[in-house]
């Protein structure tokens, strides 16, 4: 039996469903913000791990970026 990994939005707590339009956000070794659509991040296998932030849509992406711009250390 295959194990299904579940994801929740780091901003609002919504659980990911198949039809959602999610984003994966992470920071590279230089601290540069890298944002990808869920499909692109899935192709590069950047969905898991503590360093990746999972965001359920544009509204939560905006909230994440606002939080990061206000205090980069808090969002990273």
Distance of alpha carbon 65 from alpha carbon 69, whole angstroms: 6
> Mean pLDDT, consecutive 10-residue segments, the chain of 76 residues?
75 85 87 86 65 91 92 70
pLDDT score for 60 = 95
Cα–Cα distances in Å, from 26 out to 19, 58, 59, 63, 68? 22, 16, 17, 15, 12
pLDDT score for 75 = 63
Distance of alpha carbon 12 from alpha carbon 39, whole angstroms: 20
Cα–Cα distances in Å, from 75 out to 1, 2, 43, 54? 36, 33, 24, 12
């Amino acid at each position: 039996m295959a194990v299904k990994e579940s994801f929740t939005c780091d901003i609002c707590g919504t659980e990911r469903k198949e039809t959602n339009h999610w984003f994966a956000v992470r920071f590279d070794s230089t601290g540069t913000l890298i944002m990808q659509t869920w499909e692109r991040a899935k192709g590069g296998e950047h969905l898991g791990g503590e360093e990746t932030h999972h965001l359920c849509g544009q509204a939560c992406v905006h909230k994440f970026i606002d939080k990061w711009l206000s205090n980069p250390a808090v969002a990273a």
